[in-house]
Amino acid sequence: MNKQRPKHLALHQIKLPLPGIVSILHRLSGLLLFCALPLLLLMLQYSLRSIETYTQLTEVLGHPLVKIMLIGLLWAFLHHFCAGLRYLAIDLHLVHDLAQARNSSKVVMVVSLMLTIFIGIKIW
C-alpha cells in the first residue's frame, strides 16, 4: 500500500473527457446567464419605458461588440438548455452506458454550436 501519489495535482495536465467538459461548460453557462440576468432585465425595462429609451437601446444593440456579446449569451442559453436536457435524460435512465453518455455530450456540443450559428446569422 505504499503507492507514490503526487503531492500536487497539476490540473492543467489532466486530460478531461468530453462529458466532463460539457459538465463544466454547463456550470459556466448557468453562471453567465445568472450574472447577465440583471442586464437583460434592464434592457427589457428600457425597451418598455418610452420610445426614446427604446431607440437608444436599439442603437446600443446595433453595435457589433454588443451583438457579439449577445451571441455569446445566446450560446450560453442554448448550451445550458441542451446540456440540461442531457442531464434530464441521464437522470431518467435513458442513457445507460458510457458510450451513450459520450455520444450525448457530442450531440450537446454540436447542437448548441449549430443553433448558435444559425440564430446568430439570423439576428446579425
For helices 18-49 and 64-91, angle between their N-to-C axes, nearest 10 degrees: 130
Domain membership of residue 75 (yes or no) is: yes
49 is a domain residue: yes
pLDDT attached to residue 13: 80
Does any domain span residue 118? yes
Distances (CA, A) of 37 to 32, 55, 56, 70, 119: 9, 21, 20, 12, 20
Q: How many domains does the chain have?
A: 1
- Report yes or no on 5 lying in a domain: no
Domain holding 49: CATH number? Answer: 1.20.1300.10
pLDDT at 74: 97
Domain of residue 36, residue span: 18-123
Task: List, run by run, the mean pLDDT of 10-residue segments along the chain (124 residues).
Answer: 70 86 97 97 97 97 96 97 97 94 97 97 90
Prediction pTM value: 0.86
Instruction: Judge whether 29 lies within some domain.
Output: yes
Distance CA 73, CA 52 (A): 25
Residue 24 lies in a domain: yes
Residue 3 maps to a domain: no
Residue 60 lies in a domain: yes
